[in-house]
Amino acid sequence: MAERALRPAVPASPEPASSSAVSTAFGSPLEPVAATAASAAATPTHDTYVVQVQKDQIYRVPPPENAYLAERYRNERGGGGNKKRGTSSEGSAACSPCVLRTLGALLAAAALVSAAVLISLVVLRPGVPGFSVDRITVINSTRQQRVDYDVFLTAVNPNKMTALWYRSGKARLTHHGTTLAKGDVGQPADGGEDATDFSVLLQGVKHNGRLPKAVEKGFSGSKDHLALQLTVEVTVQVHVGALGFGQRRLAVDCGITAAGLGKDVHIASQNCKSSFRN
């Protein structure tokens, strides 16, 4: 029996390993490479497919302390913060105008107190002006049989910020308690604004008896020293610019030593003291 020749079997070409993987991974199966001898004869060259499979990505979760550090960094840089911190910041910002208003009120109160102290020291307690007697002129009135005295005074204002306005007043000239002349002190000729020179006319007082011997001797032309006392009380108003404040009574007491009582009395010495009465 003749042996039947068997056709050698052509082993099937194995499918690429990536074919199933690609088909599974991407959902579109690729055409496998032909495994039969007929397809091998029809296609002289094999097509090659390059498939790139993305690697698995692994995500790491940062530890909780990283979130705390990031939040603290943002707070330090002023980039935000939690609700509690934001509320504190808004409260501080809202309180700033309150602090400014409080400081402004305190400064205004301090300014008012300073102004009050300045007015008290400068206006209510001004420096006492100094006085001096420049000249005494004796006027004999034979018709009225009396002797008048014209006294010229100089006042010096020690205050730099205030002016002293002299108003009305009274003056008296005595010798050892005996009144020789008296009269009213009128407003100075310059209007009284910080006056420095003004005159006071004193009218002689008649005596039923005789005048003191020293006074009669002085009228007769004697050059002996004669003690006289001049007292003046005048109203003074303190002014600061155009503002006038309360009036005060000024008392002036001058002890004068005169050499005779001629027409122009020679003043040998004098000592004047002045003070405010109220």
pLDDT, one tens digit per residue, over 173-195 is 999 988 999 998 876 655 455 66
Q: How far is CA 240 from CA 159, 194, 234, in A?
A: 11, 11, 20
Residue 197 has φ and ψ, to the nearest 5°, of -130, 130
* DSSP reduced 3-state for 51: coil
Just give the CATH number of 130-277.
Answer: 2.60.40
Mean pLDDT on 1-21: 46
Cβ–Cβ < 8 Å for 146, 138: no
Mean pLDDT on 17-31: 45
Is the pLDDT assigned to residue 263 strictly greater than 90?
Answer: no
> How confident is the model over 243-254, as pLDDT tens digits?
777 788 999 999
More reliable by pLDDT, 79 or 196? 196
- Please tell me the predicted confidence (pLDDT) of residue 252: 95
pTM: 0.56
Percent of the chain exceeding pLDDT 70 equals 65
Domain boundaries, the chain: 130-277
- Paired tokens of 102: 């409080």
